[in-house]
Structure 1
Amino acid sequence: MKLFLKWLLCAAALLFVTSVYSGVEVRSFSAALIAAFTIGLFNAVLRPVLVLLTLPVTFVTLGLFLFVINALMFWAAAGVLDSFRVTGFGAALLGSLIYSLLGVLIDSALGRLFAQK
């Protein structure tokens, strides 16, 4: 139940990103659901490999390179899907930052909600 609720809220967060920032575009809520799933899948499968491969750069930049990796996952999801568009790397960076902040808020709220039960 928690995973399904998180997926729905992340899709809503993606729609919020599109309303706040014009560099990211999602056509509909169903497209946002597919995009949120794709971003989550890329973050689960590709991101750990990229983090491991870029560990020296991440270490030298004191972890700031992780923002670049997040933007690449965001941009890659937009590259795979037709109904999810990002205008460039800068838009992917800003869009992924907003989306990640909303994701942290969602995780925190769901953690509190399901911890009370």
Structure 2
Amino acid sequence: MLKILIINSIVVFIGAYLLEGVKIKSFWTAIGVAIVLGLINMFIKPLIVLLTLPLTILTLGLFVLVINAWILMIIDKLIDGLTIKGFWWAVLYSIIISVLNSFMLWIF
């Protein structure tokens, strides 16, 4: 569990470093973002995906990107030190986080 939290924190930090529209204050902020993101993904996201299932099916799963971006924008409002400039930056950030997280978990 701690390994996954550290990997997620590193991924959040690297993703913010790679994108001009996403700023993160410190690695401690990345840890906080990873914790909140994990909790939201565990408890709230399944309900949101279930409620939007017809739209997700209609868009062949692409609406999940909108859900992920929306969750990141909520985390931006909840945590000081994370700044996402707009919706499209959040979409790109969610894609980068997903790809890097999958890659890092595959390696470690």
Map of 1:20 onto structure 2: 18
CA RMSD after TM alignment: 1.0
Matched positions, count: 108
Equivalent residue in structure 2 for 1:77, among 72, 75, 78: 75
Map of 2:55 onto structure 1: 57
Rg (Cα) greater in structure: 1
Q: Structure 1: 5+ residue runs without aligned partners?
A: 111-117
- TM-score scaled to structure 1, two decimals? 0.87
SS in 1 for 2:61: coil
Map of 1:36 onto structure 2: 34
Runs of 4+ aligned residues of structure 1 deviating over 3 Å after TM superposition are none
Partner amino acid, structure 1, of 2:74? A
Displacement of 1:99: 0.5
Equivalent residue in structure 2 for 1:89, among 81, 87, 97: 87
- TM-score scaled to structure 2, two decimals? 0.94
Moved more, 19-28 or 101-110: 101-110
Q: Matched residues in 1 for 2:22 and 2:2: separation? A: 24
SS in 2 for 1:25: strand
Map of 2:102 onto structure 1: 104
Q: Structure 2: 5+ residue runs without aligned partners?
A: none
Q: Matched residues in 2 for 1:92 and 1:6: separation? A: 22
Partner amino acid, structure 2, of 1:83? G
